[in-house]
């Protein structure tokens, strides 16, 4: 390929590939770990009653009502909360702010595939540490010198929970750089590392409204940590774009934190369906690490993952396949409604018995 002279000075990156968002509404969408249930009726009402009059004004750059609602919910101070446009924005800002060393940052080899994209974008050296054969993170691998640590708990796309003791073990050994625990899926049955922010000033917890709160379309993510970490994050954010969250999002996001009962009920349904799906998938010859997230990362005993992926797609059921070393033989199946999962299982039963 011919490169023009001016192209030599361009910041070139290989972008992250998000899961597909099909236009066809009839598709059973088990490919992006969204919540299959709608936002709460109270939130839907607030959307309908939204008064657009104030839109001529800029939104509150500090998103105070949203920050306050999140702080209240978690029992921390507003100075301990940073908000952004989905946790992708929060994570990107965190990489830019905290990973500024010449030593490599560390994350698992099988994990959220945006981490290496941000590292490449911001020219941060990085090292991927191999998960064990059973797809768990090995804490002692992270004890070496590094420029920062980031991992999801539970991990994605495996769904494996590493447990608070293992997280604290890492924190005990990694004192001089920032440790980010990406808790995108924590509400589906894992213990949060939040209590540890009191003890470890260098710990940042990142959360999202996209999964457990049924609001992927609104784009809200947040980070929790010591006030000093949050201040550094805000300094970078305000050097980049003051108005990240828009007015409706700030209001609706604050409102969404109020409906605890609906939130818990939705979580319960997803967890019950996940546990049901595990049994069914196992009976069909799938194996998987035990998932604590709203997806299961499965491998079939004889049917190649890519073939299953195409067959499912043909049948209008979208799941995710990663064409990546070590996980090429897996599919990540998000947990849909009970009815959607029953359709999936019925299809798999028929297909696998026909080949
Ligand atoms: N972290 C992990 C581990 C994820 O899987 C995702 C979803 N793609 C995100 C962060 C980002 O989610 P969002 O930007 O919607 O908050």
Over the stretch 180-203, which tens digit does the pLDDT of each residue have? 999 999 999 999 999 999 999 999
Q: Which of 157, 184, 215 to mutate to test the pocket of ligand 1 (most atoms within 8 A of CB)?
A: 184
Res 24 pLDDT > 90: no
Q: Which of 33, 87, 93, 218 to mutate to test the pocket of ligand 1 (most atoms within 8 A of CB)?
A: 87
Q: Which atom of ligand 1 is nearest to the CA of 155?
A: 3
Q: Which of 50-54, 218-222, 229-233 has the lowest mean pLDDT?
A: 50-54
The structure tokens listed for 324 are: 């990546």
Res 119 pLDDT > 90: yes
Q: Mean pLDDT throughout 21-49? A: 95
Q: Which atom of ligand 1 is nearest to the CA of 157?
A: 5
C-alpha 324 to ligand 1 mean position (Å): 19
Residue of minimum CA distance from atom 1 in ligand 1: 184
C-alpha 334 to ligand 1 mean position (Å): 13
In this prediction, residue 213 has a pLDDT band, given cuts at 50, 70 and 90, of: very high
Mean model confidence pLDDT for the chain: 97
C-alpha 97 to ligand 1 mean position (Å): 19
C-alpha 184 to ligand 1 mean position (Å): 6
Res 3 pLDDT > 90: no
CA distances from 209 to 10, 172, 187, 249, 275 (A): 34, 29, 11, 11, 23
| Residue 87, pLDDT score | 98
| Residue 111, pLDDT score | 98
Q: Which atom of ligand 1 is nearest to the CA of 85?
A: 14
Count of CB atoms within 10 A of residue 116's CB? 18
Q: Mean pLDDT throughout 111-119? A: 97
Q: Report the distance separating Cα 119 and Cα 94, nearest Å.
A: 11
Q: Mean pLDDT throughout 73-88? A: 98
Q: Mean pLDDT throughout 210-232? A: 98
Quick check: 81 and 224 in contact, CB under 8 A?
A: yes
Res 319 pLDDT > 80: yes
C-alpha 18 to ligand 1 mean position (Å): 10
C-alpha 100 to ligand 1 mean position (Å): 22
C-alpha 7 to ligand 1 mean position (Å): 32
Res 16 pLDDT > 80: yes
Q: Mean pLDDT throughout 205-228? A: 98
| Residue 268, pLDDT score | 98
Quick check: 256 and 51 in contact, CB under 8 A?
A: no
C-alpha 91 to ligand 1 mean position (Å): 9
C-alpha 87 to ligand 1 mean position (Å): 6
Quick check: 274 and 335 in contact, CB under 8 A?
A: yes
| Residue 36, pLDDT score | 98
Residue of minimum CA distance from atom 12 in ligand 1: 87
Residues with CB under 6 Å of ligand 1 are 86-88, 112, 152, 156, 182, 184, 208, 210, 216, 221
| Residue 344, pLDDT score | 98
Q: Mean pLDDT throughout 240-249? A: 97
C-alpha 352 to ligand 1 mean position (Å): 32
Residue of 179 and 51 predicted with greater confidence: 179
| Residue 1, pLDDT score | 72
Q: Which of 208, 222, 223 to mutate to test the pocket of ligand 1 (most atoms within 8 A of CB)?
A: 208
Q: Which atom of ligand 1 is nearest to the CA of 89?
A: 14
Res 162 pLDDT > 90: yes
* For the chain, percent of residues with pLDDT exceeding 90: 95
| Residue 2, pLDDT score | 82
Q: Report the distance separating Cα 186 and Cα 228, nearest Å.
A: 24
β-bridge pairing 295-300 and 331-334: antiparallel
Burial 213-242 (b: 16+ CB within 10 A, else e): bbbbebbbbbbbbbeebbebbbeebeeeee
Q: Report the distance separating Cα 278 and Cα 282, nearest Å.
A: 6
Res 271 pLDDT > 80: yes
């Amino acid at each position: 390929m011919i490169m023009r002279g001016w192209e030599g000075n361009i910041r070139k990156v290989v972008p992250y590939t998000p899961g597909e968002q099909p236009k066809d509404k009839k598709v059973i969408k088990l490919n992006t770990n969204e919540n299959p249930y709608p936002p709460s009726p109270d939130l839907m009402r607030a959307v309908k009653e939204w008064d657009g009059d104030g839109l001529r004004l800029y939104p509150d750059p500090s998103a105070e009502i949203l920050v306050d609602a999140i702080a209240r919910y978690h029992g921390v101070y507003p100075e301990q909360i940073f908000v952004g446009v989905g946790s992708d924005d929060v994570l990107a800002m965190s990489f830019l702010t905290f990973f500024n060393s010449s030593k490599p940052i560390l994350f698992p080899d099988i994990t959220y595939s945006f981490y290496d994209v941000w590292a490449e974008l911001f020219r941060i050296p990085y090292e991927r540490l191999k998960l064990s054969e059973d797809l768990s993170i090995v804490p002692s691998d992270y004890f070496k010198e590094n420029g920062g640590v980031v991992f999801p708990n539970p991990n994605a796309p495996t769904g494996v929970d590493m447990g608070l003791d293992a997280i604290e073990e890492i924190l005990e050994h990694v004192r001089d750089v920032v440790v980010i625990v990406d808790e995108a899926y924590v509400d589906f049955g894992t213990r949060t590392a939040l209590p540890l922010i009191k003890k470890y000033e260098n710990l940042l917890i990142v959360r999202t409204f996209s999964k457990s709160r049924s609001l992927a379309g609104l784009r809200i993510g947040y980070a929790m940590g010591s006030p000093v970490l949050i201040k550094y994050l805000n300094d970078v954010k305000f050097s980049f774009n003051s108005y990240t969250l828009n007015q409706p999002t700030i209001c609706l996001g604050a409102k969404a934190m109020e409906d605890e009962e609906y939130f818990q009920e939705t979580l319960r349904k997803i967890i019950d369906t996940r546990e049901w799906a595990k049994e069914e998938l196992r009976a069909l010859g799938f194996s998987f690490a035990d998932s604590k997230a709203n997806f299961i990362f499965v491998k079939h005993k004889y049917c190649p993952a890519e073939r299953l992926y195409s067959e499912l797609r043909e049948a209008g059921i979208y799941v995710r396949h990663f064409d990546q070393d070590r996980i090429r033989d897996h599919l990540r199946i998000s947990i849909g409604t009970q009815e959607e999962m029953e359709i999936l299982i019925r299809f798999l039963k028929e297909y696998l018995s026909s080949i």
